[in-house]
Structure 1
Amino acid sequence: MKKGLFLLSAIVLLSVVIPTASAEEAEPTIKKYLLETKDDLSYYAPLSLNGDTINLYPETKLTKNQAIKKFSKAYKFIEDDLTDRGVAVDFDSGEFQDLVKTYFLIELDDKILEKEIHDFAAFMDFYENKAINDKIVSTISNSVSSRSVATEDVIADISALLPSSTSSTLEVEPSNGQQPEITPFFYESNYAATYAKNWWNKTNNTLYPYYAEYYGQSTTNNNINDLPSGSTGQSNPRRAWNDCTNFVSQALQNGGLATIKKGILNPAGDSDNWYYSDSKPSHTWGGAHNFYQHFSKRAGVASTSSVLGIGDAVSIDFTGDGSIDHTVIITKTTGTATNQQYVTYHTYDTNQTKTLSDFYTGSAKVYGYEIDKIQ
């Protein structure tokens, strides 16, 4: 579910037009074209499909073996930690890569190791982009070769892969003026916040068993959590999956936000849908990037952080590469500044010890949604 390239100034788009001429004409070559390299990253020129711009993600120049060597202590720490959680360590699996990125949030007494772990998580955020870029290019290439696939169908096929395309929520100092009162439309923000606070260090497998069953854990044990290693109250076993978005979706639903399910062939893959099902939830329910794709359209992205309040959801892109990595919910406010907006989230399970200001760091991008404004 990934990423983006924002270097659109002074870029010549690579045009890919689905041909209608005879099959005797030469097939167009669809591939990535390197635009520039900077530090350890490679940036690629966007594609243009019949006038629609398709952005590609930046990729790391480091190989897997180079990264394991460069971040050896971080890799060993994460390998041991995931093994302790019963998670298979497969460098190229999506599940492993998603879990590695959660270590952006780890805090250790050993600050040197902590920084190396954060750097390794950033590497992984860019490492996974190659496979996603290749899939985007392959899908477009196959559609061109078939000569019978409509442009809108191609865009639909790759929409879940494309990078964030909206402006992020700016961190601003609150004004002296009072924020306007919002009348929720069947959404009780306090109910959502209460649910999140009640379940912050537990997993509601009774009502939402899909992920526990998928990852081979008990669907009747609601006490599974993912507290940092060595923390008091850490469950055994620990939760085996990245649960941040599933957790926030549960809170929003328990606040009264209506689910959406339409379509027959592949409703789970439609970003317009947002629902839970024991057989298979929508991708937008449990995937951080898919959640962003749904709510950036359904709620819109808040222009500034000062308008966000209790019960509002927030997406985080740790490296600013266009891929959303994390989802949190605001459960307490003491004002409208980001250091007064306290959040609750899973993986690592955290309740009101962090504020939005903790995510406005470095190149990270924050996308907030005023859930109580959804009609």
Structure 2
Amino acid sequence: YKKLRGDEPATTDIGTRYELTLTKKSGSWELASIKSQNTGPVAVNEPLAAKANVVKDDGNQYPQGTPAATKYPAPSKPKVKTGGAYDYAAMAKYAEKYWSSYNPAYRKFNGAGGDCTNFVSQALKAGGWKNAPGTTSDYRNWWYDGAQQTDSWVGANEWSWFTLSNERATNLANVYQADVGDIVQVDFNKDGSKDHSMIVTYRSGAGMPYVTYHSTNTYRKSLASLVASYPDAVYYAYRT
């Protein structure tokens, strides 16, 4: 990527898989077809409790949030990073410390649907988010202990329901407005269910957010490269 201001990270990454079909013609090989094998990052963590609809209906609809635009550049929406309730630098520092070497104080959910939202919750906790006690299946609660955790701690949809209903964050109109400590979620197949959660750990002087996440473990991926890889997905951005 061309450096616009000079303060962007030295590297970023984008990964993709293709199936190539080659045909031998006149003693040489020619490319006959190319087909993408990508279905999105392995990042979904949807607790069984949510899928079974065991959460009692409280008479209110789950707050789904508002999809964010993906047009770059985005309208200015500056974020006040100091003097508030949360330490956004601590969130980013935590995420960039444990993006590949997992914190042993927490369980990993890679084999149980994905670790992305668990990782985001850890970073938010490191930056000052407080527990919301209660039963594990009620999306209005949010906590983790050594034996169990709420669905909202590990589930992408439940996290968004908790966050919006408890006013821990607000929706951003455009993903490129996201700043350090903000969260981006993706619905890859546009079925109304959020599949992936990421935290912004860096924003360049040109206004490009870089996201860090688990499942697959990724450090400072430019949001532009993610949107380019999945242009038909639905994106959500949250100002924490």
Same fold (TM over 0.5): yes
Match for residue 56 of structure 1? none
Could you tell me which amino acid in structure 1 is paired with residue 175 of structure 2? Answer: S
Q: Give the CA deviation at 1:296.
A: 2.9
When residues 255 and 288 of structure 1 are mapped into structure 2, their CA distance, relative to the original with a 3 A threshold, is same
Q: Is 1:201 paired with 2:100?
A: yes
Unaligned runs of 5+ in 1: 1-104, 125-131, 140-152, 213-238
Work out the number of aligned pairs and report it. Answer: 203
Q: Is the CA contact 1:288–1:325 (under 8 Å) kept in the aligned structure 2?
A: yes
- Distance in 2 between residues matched to 1:289 and 1:165, nearest whole Å: 8
Match for residue 243 of structure 1? 115
Unaligned runs of 5+ in 2: 1-13, 21-32, 45-50
For residues 3-40 of structure 1, what are the alpha-carbon distances to aligned partners after superposition, in whole Å with 9 as ceiling and x for unaligned? xxxxxxxxxxxxxxxxxxxxxxxxxxxxxxxxxxxxxx
Could you tell me which amino acid in structure 2 is paired with residue 358 of structure 1? Answer: S
Across the aligned residues of Structure 1 and Structure 2, the Cα RMSD in angstroms comes to 3.4
Could you tell me which amino acid in structure 1 is paired with residue 159 of structure 2? Answer: F
Q: Give the CA deviation at 1:321.
A: 1.0
For residues 75-125 of structure 1, what are the alpha-carbon distances to aligned partners after superposition, in whole Å with 9 as ceiling and x for unaligned? xxxxxxxxxxxxxxxxxxxxxxxxxxxxxx962364678723429x9xx9x
Q: Give the CA deviation at 1:335.
A: 3.8
Could you tell me which amino acid in structure 2 is paired with residue 107 of structure 1? Answer: T
Match for residue 364 of structure 1? 233
Q: Give the CA deviation at 1:171.
A: 2.3
Q: Is the CA contact 2:182–2:239 (under 8 Å) kept in the aligned structure 1?
A: yes
TM-score, normalising length: structure 2: 0.71
Q: Is 1:294 paired with 2:162?
A: yes
Q: 1:319 aligns with which of 181, 184, 189?
A: 189
Q: Is the CA contact 1:308–1:336 (under 8 Å) kept in the aligned structure 2?
A: no
Q: Is the CA contact 1:335–1:341 (under 8 Å) kept in the aligned structure 2?
A: no
What percent identity do the matched residue pairs reach? 26
Q: Give the CA deviation at 1:367.
A: 1.2
- Structural mapping, 1:166-315, within 5 Å: 166-174=65-73, 179=78, 181-205=80-104, 207-209=105-107, 211=108, 240-241=111-112, 242-262=114-134, 267-297=135-165, 298=167, 299-315=169-185
- Distance in 1 between residues matched to 2:56 and 2:128, nearest whole Å: 35
When residues 110 and 208 of structure 1 are mapped into structure 2, their CA distance, relative to the original with a 3 A threshold, is same
Could you tell me which amino acid in structure 2 is paired with residue 330 of structure 1? Answer: V
When residues 118 and 282 of structure 1 are mapped into structure 2, their CA distance, relative to the original with a 3 A threshold, is same
Look at both structures and tell me which one has the larger radius of gyration over its CA atoms: 1
When residues 114 and 261 of structure 1 are mapped into structure 2, their CA distance, relative to the original with a 3 A threshold, is farther
Q: Give the CA deviation at 1:203.
A: 1.6
> Higher relative contact order by CA 8 Å / sep ≥ 6: 1 or 2?
2
